[in-house]
Amino acid sequence: MKKISFFILFLITAMMAILVLTSCVSQVYPNMLGRWEVFIYQENQVGVLIDFYITTQSGGSFNGEVVVPDGVLGTLSGIVQPDGNVLILGDVTVEHITDNSMSFYGAISSNNRMDGSFTFFEKGHAKFTASWTANR
């Protein structure tokens, strides 16, 4: 009886290990590389247009720059999940103040489109929130 119980326990453990390993290996992350035109909607559909230039991606994490027509606004880093949920954080300089950051949370709705909610932080405090959409 003990030999059968040990064998069954071993078999179940081996099957669980195979399931976990194959699910880890088979995850495919959406491609985030390239230029994304981002529009941040504020009140009355008036907004701000910026660009994300995502230059590196390793699995679900990526890095790049936040760019405005005047030049580079700051750096960005983010995480994308296999299901398309995305979180992007940017450290930016606005009006010569360097202690600003932006948070973009949303989802990829197609290969070339994502959207969600946006928060701008000034000196660690949320200054305003809005919606955003991005196209590649």
Nearest to 72 by CA among 100, 58, 45, 91: 91
| φ and ψ at residue 112, rounded to 5 degrees | -125, 20
The dihedral sign for the CA sequence 48, 53, 58, 59? positive
H or E stretch at 81: none
By the 8 A CB rule, do 65 and 53 touch? yes
Nearest to 75 by CA among 60, 63, 87: 63
Interval 116-121 mean pLDDT: 91
Compute and round to an integer the Cα radius of gyration of the chain: 21
Interval 81-99 mean pLDDT: 83
Residues 6+ apart with CB under 8 A from 112: 135, 136
Of residues 5 and 130, more confidently modeled: 130
Q: How confident is the model at residue 9 (pLDDT cuts 50, 70, 90)?
A: low
pLDDT at 52 exceeding the cut of 80: yes
Interval 48-63 mean pLDDT: 94
pLDDT at 131 exceeding the cut of 60: yes
pLDDT tens for 13-42 read: 656 665 554 445 557 999 999 999 999 987
pLDDT tens for 59-85 read: 999 999 999 878 788 899 999 999 999
Task: Name the pTM for this structure.
Answer: 0.74
Domains plus CATH for the chain? 34-135 (2.40.128.120)
